Every structure is written in structure tokens, then in C-alpha cells.
Amino acid sequence: PLNWFSMDQKFCDWGNNFILSDDLKKTWGIKYTFGDFLKYHQGSSICGLSLGFKLIQKLTVYFKDYFPKSDIKIYGSFGGPGMRDAFDYIFRGKENESNFIFKKDLNINLECSEAPIGNYGYEIKTSNRIIHISVKPKVVKKEFLKVIRARNDGKGDPRTVTQLQLEMCQRILPIPSDEICNSIEIL
């Protein structure tokens, strides 16, 4: 599989242009960039990684102060390797365990983009809050889903998948998270 970091240091450098939050108080005093997420992931699922980055970026906008880094659980009906790594990079548990839980039948109160399996809707639980957050409908294009499903079925050209992932990542990262994601607090 592709390793974006070793494949192209320029891509990682490009990713450093996208900051999780300008307010370092909201990110525990650390200036996280998408380049950091790429280095952590070191895999080929950069679409899920970039969508996860935008969801977490939306959480930093949503909260007035920082949100808890521990005592948090993330439930999602789609948890591909890029998405899981995005959440794990920021919210990995004390014992280095994932706080991401795949929940096939997750029902959230927001419209969501379709994912290759399930949808891009997530429930974030902290000790005193439940937040539903999603990638807005139509952010993930049907052409992309069609190619990913063909790849998952052992059909299609892997280079097409690579190209579409790169194009989608480059398309969504510059867009403000409010235009990519929905969120609502439940509790």
C-alpha cells in the first residue's frame, strides 16, 4: 500500500499548511497540522484521514474552550483506517488504546455524507456531553464511492483510487470545517 509520508515529503509539507486550530488553548498547547496526521497515519487512506481532520477541526470550532482529550469515546458507523487514525492521533486512550468504537447501527440526528460502508456520522461522548457530528451530504462524491466500492470488490485500477483520494483530500482541506461538517449537542 501507499505510504504518503515516504512517497512524497512535499505532500506532508503541503499538509502542514492546514492547522487544526489557530487557538492553541483548544488543542492543548500543540499546533497540530494535517502534516502531523499524515505522519501518524503513514497509510493510503488519506480521504478518511482528511475527513477526520475536518471533523476534529469542527469540534475545536464548536467548543468555546478545549474539549477533553481523555475520557472521550467516538462512535461511528464508518471507521476506515484513515478515519480511525485521525481520531486516534488526538484521542488515543491512556493505555494507548483506541477510543474509536465501530457501531454499525449508529443513528445520529444529522444528515450525513454516504461512506463506502455506512455513513460519515459520529457520536462523541465525554463525561458531560454527547455531540453528534457528521460530514455534510454530498461532500463525498458518488464517483469516489463507486471507485472505492469497486476496489473493495477486487475490481478497478488502484491508481484511480489513489488519484481520487489525493484530489478529494486537496479539495476539502482548504474549505472551512463549517462548510464540510454538521454538529449538534445532544446533552
Residues 6+ apart with CB under 8 A from 50: 34, 82, 168, 169, 172, 173
Query: Would you write out the chain's pLDDT as a tens digit for each of its 187 residues?
Result: 444 444 577 888 999 999 999 999 899 899 999 999 999 998 888 999 999 999 999 999 887 777 777 788 999 999 899 999 999 999 987 777 889 999 989 989 899 999 988 899 999 998 888 999 999 999 999 988 998 888 888 887 878 888 888 899 999 999 999 999 999 888 7
For residue 58, which of 185, 187, 179 has the smallest C-alpha distance? 179
CA dist 115 to 48, 58, 60, 112, Å?
A: 9, 19, 23, 9
Q: What are phi and psi of 150, to 5 degrees?
A: -60, -45
Q: Of all residues in the chain, what percent are helix, strand and coil, respectively (each to 5)?
A: 45, 15, 40
Burial class (CB in 10 A: 0-12, 13-18, 19+), 39: middle
E strand map for the chain:
73-76, 100-102, 121-125, 130-135, 181-185
